[in-house]
Structure 1
Amino acid sequence: MKKIHSNYNISGEATLAESPVLFSFRPDFPEPGRFTRYRKQGTGIRTSDGTFEFVERNWVRSQAELIKKLSHGRLTKTLSGDFLLTIRIPEWHPRPTAIIADNSLTAMDALQQFIFEEEAA
């Protein structure tokens, strides 16, 4: 999807409620369909003179190479060349050691296969 960056000056009325924190803006002359919908997480900044700014939060995505997706985790190779095994077990699970053993064996097989393929290439 192509991103279009445009600046708009819109006059209107802004309302800020303190509890719960809610910022609302109503333009003086609404034009349905003029803007695309926008919903993002970020930080709203209100200065002492009443100026309001919003800064969108940038999400940092992992740059690790996925080797194997496991039933309760994943095996990845990080940018530094390390291998990372992550296992996530719900607290309520009746047999967490069985999950660890099963995922570890699966990860070990996948790691051996990955190293073998890297050496062959």
Structure 2
Amino acid sequence: MTLKIPGINFTSERDAGSCLIYSFAFPSGAETEALDSILNHLVPNSEVSVSDPTNGDCSLEVRRTSSGLELKRGCHGVFGTWRAATFSEALSWLLPGAVAASKTARPGFGGNIVLYKVAVRG
């Protein structure tokens, strides 16, 4: 499955079994616009994450559910609790990581989108 989101250039796609993981870079100076496009195109059972600029062992995550958006901080070995968020809250949550990534991540990387596969029963 090829993921297409306006304004986002995906640099890698990996099938991890239960999900597909897409990596992309944030365009410097247009991080807000990139996040806006991503959040507007997330489908239920998908997540976007960026590194937490205050703790390199953590990430800032937003997921789309059938009832809206949720956010949390995930750290190596420790997972936060998903909590409901508005679109504006989700964008503000991810923005510091996106800005940091556009300045420090290697070319083509900075964020991930995960699409979880839905089991099909016959």
Q: Pick the structure with more strand per residue.
A: 2
TM-score (norm 2): 0.26
Q: Whose Rg is larger?
A: 1
